[in-house]
Amino acid sequence: MINNRLNGCKYCIAAQTTLSQMAGVTGDIIDALRKNTPIADAKLEARRRFAIAINKSRGWPSQKHLNALVAAGHMRQSLLEAILGTSLKVLSDYTNHAAHTALDDTFNANH
């Protein structure tokens, strides 16, 4: 949801909110991702911050960002996961922007 918010994709924010709810993600985490507020769990918060850094730096995170991710208990492979997630969301978000994708009824409640 971080990339959806940063990329301004309302369709994907609604879809990811719905899917997160279905997967049992707690409301406080969903709200934090949607509103760009800290997550209470330090490990998840480090991942949230790193995902923002990957998106905003266009794939050029600082060593400080990487160190913070690892210090929070993530393995270095999380770097690749964040890049993969960002690239998939760019593809999806930009496609929805260009295609003017209409919001499905399923996701409308989470718009």
List, for residues 96-106, the tens digit of each pLDDT value: 999 998 888 87
13-18: average pLDDT: 92
- pLDDT tens for residues 44-79? 999 999 999 999 999 899 999 999 999 999 988 888
Alpha-carbon span 93 to 1, nearest angstrom: 11
Please report the domains of the chain, with CATH numbers, ordered by start residue: 2-102 (1.20.1290.10)
Q: Which two tokens stand for residue 43?
A: 């490990």
Alpha-carbon span 89 to 61, nearest angstrom: 18
Mean pLDDT of the chain, nearest integer: 91
Any idea which residue has 């295609």 for tokens? 99
pTM: 0.83
